[in-house]
Amino acid sequence: MANPKHSLSRVDLRPAAGAEPAVPAWAKDDYVLSRWIKEERARRRRFLADQVLEHREPRIHYRPQNTIGDRIFGPIRNAFKPLDVATGGRLFRGWLHTKKYLVLLVIPAWTAHYFVKYHVATKPHGIVTEKSAVFPAKTDHAGHHH
């Protein structure tokens, strides 16, 4: 074997298709268990063979119809569809990545910043709510207010 054992995947360690794998040592002495293992393996092989569709069999892609989002964003999506097709689907993919970035990072960070700034921060004069009154008599010779 060229590769070390730990580099092989679980699939590589299985016997070849159609081979009759040996019953594990822990099940050899038990008549019922050894037969059940063979029957279960055959049942799973049949099940997996049944999952393979022929080229003319339809593949059903379930998608709920007439959702509120479809009615709201459907016209927008249809308007941008030619541009999306022209860019190889990069337009909608980029929008999804941008939306994820906004929802997971920008909006929570802004919300936390707003909450801390206006509801938690106790530093005096951190937020100026009104300007102090400046009177004409409080000016120096250069014209600066004190």
The domain limits of the chain are 15-51, 88-121
Give the Cα separation of 63 and 136 in Å (integer): 73
What is the Cβ-side half-sphere exposure of residue 115, based on CA atoms within 13 angstroms? 6
pTM metric for this prediction:
0.35
Q: How far is CA 134 from CA 122, 127, 144, in A?
A: 26, 19, 11
Q: How far is CA 69 from CA 72, 73, 90, in A?
A: 5, 6, 21
Look at 54 and 12; give whichever has higher pLDDT: 54
Give the Cα separation of 59 and 54 in Å (integer): 10
SS3 content of the chain, % helix, strand, coil (to 5): 60, 0, 40
Amino acid at 16: A
Give the Cα separation of 106 and 118 in Å (integer): 18
In the chain, the percentage of residues whose pLDDT exceeds 90 is 22
Q: What pLDDT band is residue 125 in, cutting at 50, 70 and 90?
A: low
Look at 1 and 40; give whichever has higher pLDDT: 40
In the prediction, which pLDDT does 131 show?
Answer: 75
